[in-house]
């Protein structure tokens, strides 16, 4: 046998041995006694399989199909691929006592109970075409029902004091991936990435009751280098949201692309009360957002600086049974009277199409700063025009401008409303106003709820034009320009631009 052939045979043998060794790292949870009958508590069996593979240096832990495997908290380890096969379900226990109490967070939605938990873990994967079901309905209060036992809509479902939230908590982890799985019925937040670096979430489906309590899809708190792509998310609360809190780091280099979203809250969001530290270098692109209260929302309420944000190629509608729906909102105000003023700057929004009844709102309170905002190539189609004025009295959502800070802007009648903005460019806006006297049936919700409250509004939405809109209303706009040759007010007797205390160039 010549020397070259010996080398080839030895090399091939070593590769075959390596394949066998790797295959031996794959362990089914049934090897440790797990039963997929939907009633046996398998927490110990699943954890034993994970710990066995981790002790060998890593490999695959399989939740096999078919089967429904009920469990309490399981802890991921480094170098583990937890694969949930197609046809298999990891089912959260309905009993809160089956979950480890790990660490309370900054509010009631960051509770210490999780189905999957990873702390300081690297190089792990959660994968497979199977399902992670949080069994969340066991942590919700009974639904309000009519005399025929049917759920009354629209109503927010309320959570019990203790719930499994976030369902999947990924904390201080590095270089890890969550892909292809379906996540259903979280008790609160579904997937939380917290103080992590280099995390990829791709091809994940998140499917929740559309009125479920505080059921955020993916929350990204204090993370760097995060890629979210190719996901389908249907949920009640924010679909994808970046956050920073007092107990988190700042947040940098996050990109979200190629997602389809349905939510009664915000589709793509940055901040709100969770805006304690800075966020920079963020992109949202190539997404479809269906039936949202706000397709895009950027909020600073707790002193952060947001910088270098691009949003592009978004198709959306705001056909949600809520009041004050907004295609786009950018807001700086204070969480408390003593909150440090925040800053939002260098924001580019382009190629957005939205079917809506509401207004784009850009508002900054005195002391804060919103500057260098460009909105270009925006198409708004109005099947109906909502008059915001009848609902203003008593409005209390933390994500709606305060009437005390923006007394005229909150009720301003224009497709785009801006108050106290520096260097604002609005270019190539195209608006299609209602074409008939009556609203399409799917938009004429007989009852609407208010975000952040239990107020129910019964307004006759059958009339397509509750009011008329200008193209743009602006107060204290300093710098920038308006260039919108195609846009016209909803009726000729209303001026195209309503401006006060402003120094902005109008290009014709």
Segment (H or E) for 198? strand 197-202
How far lies 411's CA from each of 320, 381, 402, 437, 440, in Å? 20, 20, 11, 23, 24
Q: With CA atoms as reference, report the closest residue to 185 among 252, 134, 128, 257.
A: 134
**pTM, whole model, 2 decimals?**
0.93
Contact 250, 226 (CB under 8 A): no
Provide the pLDDT for residue 104: 87
Q: How far apart are CA 307 and CA 329, in angstroms?
A: 16
d(CA 387, CA 446): 15
- Please name the residue that has the structure tokens 């996540």: 183
Q: Helix, strand, or coil here: 97?
A: helix
pLDDT tens digits for the chain (508 residues)?
A: 455 444 434 445 444 444 444 444 799 999 999 999 999 999 999 999 999 999 999 999 999 999 999 999 999 999 999 999 999 999 999 999 999 999 888 888 999 999 999 999 999 999 999 999 999 999 998 877 777 777 776 778 889 999 999 999 999 999 999 999 999 999 999 999 999 999 999 999 999 998 888 999 999 999 999 999 999 999 999 999 999 999 999 999 999 999 999 999 999 999 999 999 999 999 999 999 999 999 999 999 999 999 999 999 999 999 999 999 999 999 999 998 899 999 999 999 999 999 999 999 999 999 999 999 999 999 999 999 999 999 998 887 889 999 999 999 999 999 999 999 999 999 999 999 999 999 999 999 988 988 877 788 888 888 999 999 999 999 999 999 999 999 999 999 999 999 999 999 999 7
Q: For the chain, what is the radius of gyration of the CA atoms?
A: 25
pLDDT at 396: 79
How confident is the model at residue 302, as a pLDDT?
Answer: 94
pLDDT for the residue 18: 42
Run of H or E residues at 256: strand 251-257
In the chain, how many H helices and how many E strands? 2, 36
Q: Say if CB 365 and CB 343 are below 8 A apart.
A: no
**What is the residue whose two structure tokens read 């004050």?**
324
Beta strands in 29-66 (DSSP E): 37-41, 59-63
pLDDT of residue 2: 55
62 Cβ neighbours under 8 A, 6+ residues apart: 26, 27, 28, 29, 83, 85
Q: Return the H-helix or E-strand segment holding 13.
A: helix 3-24
What the chain holds in terms of domains, given with CATH numbers, is 26-237 (2.160.20.10)
């Amino acid at each position: 046998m010549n020397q070259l052939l010996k080398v080839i045979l030895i090399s091939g043998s070593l590769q075959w041995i390596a394949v066998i060794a790797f295959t031996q790292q794959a362990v089914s949870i049934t090897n440790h006694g797990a039963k997929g009958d939907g009633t046996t508590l398998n927490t110990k069996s699943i954890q034993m399989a994970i710990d066995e593979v981790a002790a060998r240096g890593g490999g695959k832990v399989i939740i096999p199909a078919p089967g429904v495997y009920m469990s309490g908290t399981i802890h991921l380890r480094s170098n583990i691929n937890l694969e949930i096969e197609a046809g298999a379900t990891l089912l959260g226990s309905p009993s809160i006592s089956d979950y480890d109490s790990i660490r309370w967070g900054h509010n009631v939605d960051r509770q210490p109970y999780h189905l999957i938990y990873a702390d300081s873990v690297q190089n792990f994967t959660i994968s497979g075409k199977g399902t992670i079901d949080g069994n969340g309905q066991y942590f919700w209060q009974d639904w309000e029902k009519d005399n025929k036992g049917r759920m009354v809509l629209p109503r927010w479902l309320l959570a019990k004091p203790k719930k499994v939230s976030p369902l999947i908590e990924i904390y201080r982890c590095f270089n890890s991936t969550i892909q292809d799985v379906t996540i259903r019925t979280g008790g609160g937040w579904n997937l939380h990435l917290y103080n992590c670096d280099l995390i990829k979430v791709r091809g994940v489906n998140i499917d929740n009751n559309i009125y479920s309590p505080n059921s955020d899809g993916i929350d990204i708190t204090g993370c760097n280098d995060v890629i979210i792509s190719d996901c389908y998310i249907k949920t009640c609360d924010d679909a994808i949201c970046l956050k920073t809190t007092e107990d988190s780091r700042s947040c940098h280099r996050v990109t979200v692309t190629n997602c389809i979203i349905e939510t009664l809250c915000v589709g793509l969001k940055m901040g709100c009360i969770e805006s304690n530290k800075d966020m920079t270098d963020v992109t949202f692109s190539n997404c479809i957002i269906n039936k949202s209260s706000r397709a895009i929302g950027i909020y600073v309420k707790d002193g952060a600086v947001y910088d270098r944000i691009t949003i592009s190629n978004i198709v959306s509608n705001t056909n949600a049974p809520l009041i004050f729906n907004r295609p786009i909102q950018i807001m700086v105000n204070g969480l408390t009277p003593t909150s440090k003023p925040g800053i939002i700057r260098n924001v580019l929004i382009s190629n957005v199409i939205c079917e809506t009844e509401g207004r784009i709102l850009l508002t900054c309170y005195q002391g804060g700063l919103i500057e260098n905002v460009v909105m270009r190539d925006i198409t708004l189609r109005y099947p109906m025009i909502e008059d915001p004025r009848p609902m203003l009295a008593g409005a209390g959502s933390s994500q709606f401008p305060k009437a005390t800070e923006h007394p005229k802007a909150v009720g301003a009648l224009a497709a785009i409303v801006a108050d106290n903005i520096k260097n604002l460019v609005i270019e190539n806006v195209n608006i299609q106003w209602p074409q008939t006297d009556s609203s399409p049936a799917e938009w004429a919700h007989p009852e609407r709820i208010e975000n952040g409250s239990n107020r129910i509004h019964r307004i006759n939405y059958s009339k397509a034009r509750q009011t008329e809109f200008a193209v743009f209303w602006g107060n204290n706009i300093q710098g920038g320009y308006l260039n919108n040759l195609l846009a016209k007010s909803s009726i000729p007797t209303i001026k195209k631009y309503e401006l006060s205390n402003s120094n902005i160039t109008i290009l014709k």
